[in-house]
Structures are given as structure tokens and as C-alpha cells.
Amino acid sequence: MTLNELKHQGLKKWVEEAVALMKPKAVYVCDGSQEEYDRMIDICVKGGLATPLNSAKRPGCYLFRSDPSDVARVENRTYIASKTQEEAGPTNNWINPVELKKTMTELYTGCMQGRTMYVIPFSMGPVGSNIAKIGVEITDSEYVVANMHIMTRVGKKVLDVLGTNGEYVPCLHSVGKPLAEGESDNGKWPCAPLDKKYISHFPETREIWSYGSGYGGNALLGKKCLALRIASVIARDEGWLAEHMLILKITNPQGVSKVVCAAFPSACGKTNLAMLVPTLPGWKVETIGDDIAWMKFGPDGRLYAINPEAGFFGVAPGTNMDSNPNAMRSIEKNTIFTNVALTEDKDVWWEQIGYDAPGKLIDWKGNEWIQDKANKAQEPAAHPNSRFTAPARQCPAIAPEWEDPKGVPVDAILFGGRRPSTIPLVHQATDWVHGVFMGSIVGSEITAAALDLKAGTIRRDPFAMLPFCGYNMGDYFQHWINIGKKTSADKLPKIFFVNWFRKTKDGKWLWPGYGENSRVLAWIFDRCAGTGKAVETPIGYMPTVDAIERPAGVSEADMKELLAVDIEGWKKEIADIRENHYPKFGNRLPKELMNELDAIEKRLGK
């Protein structure tokens, strides 16, 4: 499509202004077709940025290698530029929006010289859904266009819904490396130096400006930028929830289904749970989403969730047929791999893929690499944050309702973290506010491998939203409390906290995890149905020792330890929250959460 074919005059004017500022050699409006996707990939292959993989083993798959400086989200260069620093809150980087726009406008000036400007109309969520939102991303990266094709719904059908005056979130992106006449990237990933990278969000005006990075969440602006940072602000203003949560559907042997949303910090098994293969006979888990949930109230007063994404942008290392067989099957075709290793027969390999490296590889930096198990200091062949981008429709466990524009009614919400002690295998909130308290204290214990913090301390990541909340997190907690007042208690999802990572004193896992987590989900299912056996404790409802069917290798004594209330451990937990965590939020911390803290401390006793 051409710029003149745009019927939305406000959108057309915005694009024209971007053209005048960035000075591209050409402008192209994306139509979302397969031919367009193939053309983007072909440009990348011919430019030396992409390698076609073995068509017999991985049809339609390609490998990209990014610049070593451009391999992950850059949180210290990610900004919430609200009008005041107080609105951004203590957990976000803030720059005055006028000052930031001035800086970035200078960077954007002429930044697309020698490149094509692509205009990507995209829908987060099924096109036309009343829960979905539309964005338009301007970019000069074919890699971004191809990935957005997989991760969102792109093209003319989105423009049709937008009409002549519909609302959209404007998203500006450039890799920040203009080309002189006749110059090319010469197979090198284009990006700017770290001190010139900006991933900026303007909550009041609902704008996203990104410069200097071509990678993942910095450049695919529908993902974390729109779907969480900007959407969380829109959700606050409109009375719904935009959350960093998976969505799964679980069905019992009698054919009854429940929907569960779950928020875990990174490295806590979110994607694995979303695509779980249950070990419990007769139970079935189906995937609706693995990363983001948008929840709005339906006419019946219940919260309905959609997955606003159309694909999976998953971490490759650690993904294997044991940890996540459904993910492995999802990436067998039509997948973009970034920063994994390349085998001699043009297949992909990464650490913990489930088998040794098959001979000589090309690592993620483009160098020859031969596995040396004796060398513990050997650099990994795949970057630890290497990724796959795959269409969600390819997942063998995808639920039939995953694209239902009405969404699916949510029965339970789970929070969790990586905690070797104190936090039990599972416990349930006594009510909605107690559940908000649970979400507000989410965290994982720091290991000795993390050099920036003392081992054994807790890195808090409230609601797993710490890097993604687009406004003051104290106000975010209050918004969750307010959501609970919008309907009757019996229509709200029940809230639980899970911890798959308990260890014995000598460091052995108490719970096997993976597919065995279906046993915990079954108890949660039963609690939502009003049948699960539980006891009331100082920290909430917990399963009786016989309420969860034990997997092989877990003794009754193990189960008692997994489900015990560690009084002394919880007293230390309360003290850490009171002294180190909650004070960060100052007078924006809802009094209800401090009351909840006091009440739990009182129940635990002196």
C-alpha cells in the first residue's frame, strides 16, 4: 500500500510528519500478506542479516544474529516520560517528556536516510475485539516487520477497523543507522551505541518512541511497550487490567474447564506452565497465551481475558522436549530464530536443548564453536537471551478459544517466584485484597551467580510487572484493589501463590515441577469449583496434606514440608517487606496493603 491510500487523515498526517523528519528513501504501508512477509525475509537474506535453515528439518525458518551490543531489553535506557516524576513512580526511569522529545527528535532527524520507512498497522488482540487495541508502528527494519507479522495481526484488516478516525497508539522506531547513497549494512546488524538507545513511553499522550535498538522488546513495539507499559495506563483509566500473565485453560476428566492466568518473574517457568503437558491422567491443559493477558469485565460481571499477541517470543536456552515439548513442536516451521547457534546441516542448537552439540557449530557471534564439556568457562554457543518467534497457531496445545474476541472468563489468578524456602508449594488468598497483597510481594531469591546483590536476599518484582508498569506502582496496587470493588466477590477470580522451587536444606528439589505442576493446578481447579480440601492458616488457605496427589519421589514428609507454614521464615519475610519493600512507594502505597501486612503479622504471633 502507498501513503496516499490511507483513509485515516490523522494517521496520514502523522506518517507525513515522520517522513519529513526521518527522510527515508521510500515509504511502504504494510498489508499483512504472506508475500510481504516473504519479501521482508528475502531482503534480510540478500543483505546477509538472515540465514535460511534446513528446509527439510525446519521449513520456513531463518536465523538472525544481532549485534553483540543489542541482545536484550535495555532497562536502564527505557523511560516512562510522564509529565511528573511522581507519576512515573520510584520503580521507573523518568525524564521530562519535553526534554526527552527534544533529544530524540534530534536523533530522529534524517535517521532513515537510505532506508525504507515501513508503516505497520497492527492489532493487539483479535481484530475488532472490544478488548483489543490498535497500534501503528513506523520502522526502518525489515526484521521488525517480519517479527510483527508473527507477533501481532498486521495489515489492511486493521486499517478497516480503524476507519477514518479511530484511535491508535503511534509507535516510532528506527535502528538509528542511516545509510549513505549506495551504502548497505554489509551483513552487519544495524543499531546505535548504547548511550544513544532510547525506549521511551509518553503515558499521557499514549506514544512510544524507540531509537537505536533493533532487538525484541525494544523494537517490536506492540509487545512490552504497548501491551504492558502503555496499556497498563489505558487500563487504569478505563477500568481493566493489562498484565504480564500467561493464560491457560485446564479441563478435568469430566470435561469441565477453568481458565487460569499467572504472573511469574523471568526464569520461573511461565511459558512452560502455559504449554504444560499434565501428568495427571485424564486432565488436559491448553494454551491461550504465554506472556500477556488483557482482562475486561463482561456483561455478567466476570473478568474476561484475551491474549493480545498472535505469536510466541520465547527464550530458547532451556527449552527442550522435557521442559516444554509443545514449544519445541511450535518452532518446527515458520519460525524466526535470533542469536542461537547454527549446526553444519543448517539446523539450530542451544544450551539445554536436550542433546549435545552435533559437531562443529557457528555460535551466536558468527564464530566456529566446538562443545567442550570439560571447560566450565566455555562461552555459550547461543546467547542466554536468544529467542524464537513462532506463530501461536502452530502450538499443538493451542486452545480453540485463543482468538475468541469476547475473551475467556477467568477463574483463577496465580502469582509465583523462585523461592527455595519459606513460601509453600501453594496457598490461596482469603479475599481479593489479600490476593493483591500476594501480588505486591512477588519476588525471587538472589543466587550467588548474581553479583549485584547479596545472595539470599529477595529481588521483588510485584505482579511480575516491575519493568513493565507504565505509571507509579503504588497507584497500580490501588488500581488492582479498585478492580475488586467493581463486581461481587463471587464473580472475581480466586487468587493463589505458587512456588515450584522449594529445596531441602542440602539443596535438593522438593517438588519435581514441569508436568507434575498439573497436580497443583488440579487443586486450584477444585478450589474454584468449591470442592478442594483446605485448611485456614495465618498466610491463607492451604491444601491438606492429602489434597494434592503426590508424584513419584515425593514422600509424605516432603509434602508436609512443602505445605508447612514456616512461622520464623514468614516473620523475616514480613520484616523485609515492611523495612525494605513497601517504603519505596511512600504515600502512594495503599493503606489496605499495610493493613494486610499488619494482620498477617498478628496472625503469625509474636
Average pLDDT score, the chain: 96
Residue 479: half-sphere exposure toward Cβ, Cα within 13 Å: 21
Mean pLDDT in residue range 487-505: 96
206 labeled binding residue: no
Domain 243-307+402-604 has CATH 3.90.228.20: yes
For residue 278, pLDDT beyond 90: yes
Q: Are 577 and 597 in contact (CB under 8 A)?
A: yes
418 labeled binding residue: yes
Amino acid at residue number 325:
P
Give the span between the Cα atoms of 444 and 565, in whole angstroms: 18
Residue 306: strand pairing partners: 294
Q: Are 37 and 151 in contact (CB under 8 A)?
A: no
From the number of C-beta atoms within 10 Å of its C-beta (0-12, 13-18, 19+), residue 452 rates as exposed
pLDDT for the residue 266: 83
The model's pLDDT over 346-357, given as tens digits with 9 standing for 90+, comes to 999 999 999 999
Residue spans in the chain of domains classed CATH 2.170.8.10: 49-64+310-397
Residue spans in the chain of domains classed CATH 3.40.449.10: 3-30+77-238
Going by pLDDT thresholds of 50, 70 and 90, the confidence category of residue 513 is very high
The model's pLDDT over 308-333, given as tens digits with 9 standing for 90+, comes to 999 999 999 999 999 999 999 999 99
pLDDT for the residue 451: 40
323 labeled binding residue: no
For residue 437, pLDDT beyond 60: yes
Q: Are 53 and 348 in contact (CB under 8 A)?
A: yes
515 labeled binding residue: yes
84 labeled binding residue: no
Mean pLDDT in residue range 248-262: 98
174 labeled binding residue: no
Residue 544: half-sphere exposure toward Cβ, Cα within 13 Å: 8
Give the span between the Cα atoms of 124 and 122, in whole angstroms: 7
The model's pLDDT over 172-203, given as tens digits with 9 standing for 90+, comes to 999 999 999 989 999 999 999 999 999 999 99
DSSP assignment of 5-45: G---HHHHHHHHHHHHHH--SEEEE----HHHHHHHHHHHH
28 labeled binding residue: no
118 labeled binding residue: no
Residue spans in the chain of domains classed CATH 3.90.228.20: 243-307+402-604
Amino acid at residue number 76:
N
Give the span between the Cα atoms of 30 and 214, in whole angstroms: 18
Give the span between the Cα atoms of 81 and 75, in whole angstroms: 14
334 labeled binding residue: no
166 labeled binding residue: no
The model's pLDDT over 400-418, given as tens digits with 9 standing for 90+, comes to 999 999 999 999 999 999 9
Which helix (H) or strand (E) segment holds residue 520: the answer is helix 518-529
What is the dotted CATH code of the domain comprising 49-64+310-397?
2.170.8.10
pLDDT for the residue 455: 54
Residue 191: half-sphere exposure toward Cβ, Cα within 13 Å: 24
Give the span between the Cα atoms of 323 and 265, in whole angstroms: 17
Mean pLDDT in residue range 448-461: 64
Its CATH architecture, for the domain 3-30+77-238, is 3-Layer(aba) Sandwich (3.40)
Cα distances (Å, whole numbers) of residue 340 to 66, 226, 384, 572 = 10, 27, 9, 41
Mean pLDDT in residue range 87-113: 98
pTM above 0.75, yes or no: yes
Describe the crossing of helices 473-483 and 591-604 by its angle, rounded to 10 degrees.
80
476 labeled binding residue: no
Mean pLDDT in residue range 119-129: 97
Beta carbons within 10 angstroms of residue 385's beta carbon: 18
Which helix (H) or strand (E) segment holds residue 437: the answer is helix 432-440
Q: What is the DSSP letter of 415?
A: E
Catalytic positions are 268
216 labeled binding residue: yes
517 labeled binding residue: yes
Cα 98 from chain centroid? 29
Beta carbons within 10 angstroms of residue 469's beta carbon: 27
Cα distances (Å, whole numbers) of residue 418 to 265, 512, 524 = 8, 14, 19
* Backbone angles phi and psi of 280, in degrees to 5: -75, 125
Which helix (H) or strand (E) segment holds residue 445: the answer is strand 443-445
Sequence-distant (6+) residues with CB within 8 A of 569 are: 421, 422
Going by pLDDT thresholds of 50, 70 and 90, the confidence category of residue 448 is very low
Residue 241: strand pairing partners: 295
pLDDT for the residue 208: 98
| Lowest-confidence segment of 1-5, 106-110, 165-169, 520-524 by average pLDDT | 1-5
pLDDT for the residue 454: 59
Q: What is the DSSP letter of 48?
A: T
From the number of C-beta atoms within 10 Å of its C-beta (0-12, 13-18, 19+), residue 31 rates as middle
